[in-house]
Chains A and B, each alone.
Chain A
Amino acid sequence: MLTVRIIPCLDVDAGRVVKGIRFQGLRDAGAPDEQAALYEAQGADEIVMLDVSATPEGRSTQVETVRKIRARLSIPLSVGGGVRSSEDAARLLGAGADKVGVNTAAVANPGLVDELAARFGSQCTVIAVDAQGRPGGGWEVLVRSGKEPTGLDAIEWMHEVVERGAGEILLTSWDRDGTGEGYNLELLEASAEAIRVPIIASGGAAGPAHMVEALKAGADAVLAASIFHYGEYTVAQVKDALASAGLEVRR
């Protein structure tokens, strides 16, 4: 039986981790490889690195950052942010990413999903979906870091990308992201009902109780950034809480 997965997310800008970090014992708290290794030691099941670089110059360090993290990390590494083509994906996979996440580029060119799945396999192809609630019900897909509505229904879009070969969905509730109010359970339930591939829940976690809710609502994995970065919880503490709630975790 598969365990549920806990996935810390590193937001990286020009090769440096952004968002505050309050860990003890890191030689360089802004170094992505240091932080990834620390999360692995705490029991993280996977690491997501999201490149949030605002400029092409900042993003040009991405491959080198992936290589540095890979050299130290012995758990899966998923990389997203700014991936526009299968060539971009090939560079990241060649540097040591195990999966590549695509968001905006997949909406602009859905054929990219087929291309990635055919060239690298579904197990490498993660589609990131940013979903925002619609006034009349349901959810709409946003792109460009939430700035641009697309008119696409999120559930239909997830269904389409899975048909095209996506192996996993990283689903962020844009309504909840950064609020600490918990994951969007209604969205997770509807998504888990609609698609067969694993879903990583993202957006809104303030603690282990929110993670338990999301996993029970149908998520296969939960992603969080702030609660780990600010040292509010370690991954090990979260796993203890999940195990107490009856979920199987890797420890």
Chain B
Amino acid sequence: MSITGREVVLIDTGVANIASLVAAFGRLGRPARLSLDAREVREAEALVLPGVGAFAAGMARLREARLVETLRERIAAGRPLLAVCLGMQLLCESSQENPGVEGLGVVPAQVTRFPSGARVPQFGWNRVVPGEGAHLVEQGFAYFANSYRIARAPTGFAASESEHGGSFVAALERGALLGCQFHPELSGAWGQALLGRWLVCGGAPC
């Protein structure tokens, strides 16, 4: 099967609740398809790296499908990628969740657990404040479900922030790369609009 320009390819990370992402792209008039095929992942106009669950399991899935280098190359080339929740964490170097497991390493950051005192998992709606240079993320409320996070803005990315036991990175942007710690597909009209802006940006630098 070849990919049409309108088709959004979602890397099939094997989690069950990917249906919400497919539905969100459907509402934007874009068919979405799950894939683990390296060629499709390389060639897709718009690629999504979803993910819930543990860091090690997420990386194992990418390694088994031989997608690690494909993803690194795609990101280095500035091709459009949306990484959601665990997907954004997989872009980092490592995670406290599974010490010793190497991430994709394209974001110079370590993922760490929320400090003790903050309710974990963070479950619900939190205010997102756009960082300097953010061109996709706007101010609003986003839906989060996570126990780990990137604590500080990594260099080379525009980082939007939220507060939960101190500030943390809610979203990262660089060109057509958008990483969201929250679930844009579950963040109401605000999230839907963000997905729409990313899709528009997807084809060309913006």
Q: Which residues of A contact B (CB under 8 A)?
A: 1-3, 5, 40, 45, 67, 70-77, 89-90, 93-98, 119-124, 167-168, 196-198, 220-221, 250
Contact = CB atoms under 8 A, between A and B. Distances in A.
B70 to A, nearest CB: 26
A74 B186 contact: yes
Q: Is the interface of A mostly helix, strand, loop or mixed?
A: mixed
Nearest to A122: B121
Interface in B10-29: 15-17, 19-20, 23-24, 26-27
Contacts of B120: 196
6 contacts: A45-B124, A71-B23, A72-B27, A74-B191, A220-B123, A221-B124
B205 interface: no
B26 A71 contact: yes
Nearest to B57: A121
Interface of B: 15-17, 19-20, 23-24, 26-27, 52-53, 119-127, 141, 143-146, 163-164, 183, 185-189, 191-192
A49 to B, nearest CB: 14
Given A98-B17, A124-B17, A250-B141, A167 B126 contact: no
Contacts of B146: 123
* CB-based closest 3 A-B pairs: A93-B16, A96-B19, A123-B145
Contact of B126 (A3, A96, A168, A220): A3
A74 B189 contact: yes
Nearest to B195: A74
Considering residues B125, B126, B186, which has the most beta carbons from chain A within 10 angstroms of its beta carbon?
B125
A121 B53 contact: yes
A73 B188 CA distance: 8
Given A2-B122, A167-B121, A74 B52 contact: no
Nearest to B52: A121
A119 to B, nearest CB: 8
A31 B143 CA distance: 26
B121 A45 contact: no
A2 B125 contact: yes
Contacts of B26: 71
A77 B124 CA distance: 12
Given A120-B17, A124-B17, A220-B124, 12 more contacts: A2-B122, A3-B124, A5-B125, A74-B186, A94-B16, A94-B19, A121-B15, A121-B52, A123-B123, A124-B52, A197-B121, A198-B123
A122 B97 CA distance: 14
A87 B25 CA distance: 26
Contacts of A89: 16
Contacts of A2: 119, 122-126, 144, 164
A70 B19 contact: yes
Given A70-B23, A74-B187, A75-B186, A1 B16 contact: no
A89 B19 CA distance: 13
Contacts of A74: 24, 27, 185-189, 191-192
Contacts of B52: 120-121, 123-124
Nearest to A69: B23
B72 to A, nearest CB: 26
Nearest to A45: B125
A78 B94 CA distance: 31
B173 to A, nearest CB: 21
Contacts of B163: 1
A1 B126 contact: yes
A5 B17 CA distance: 21
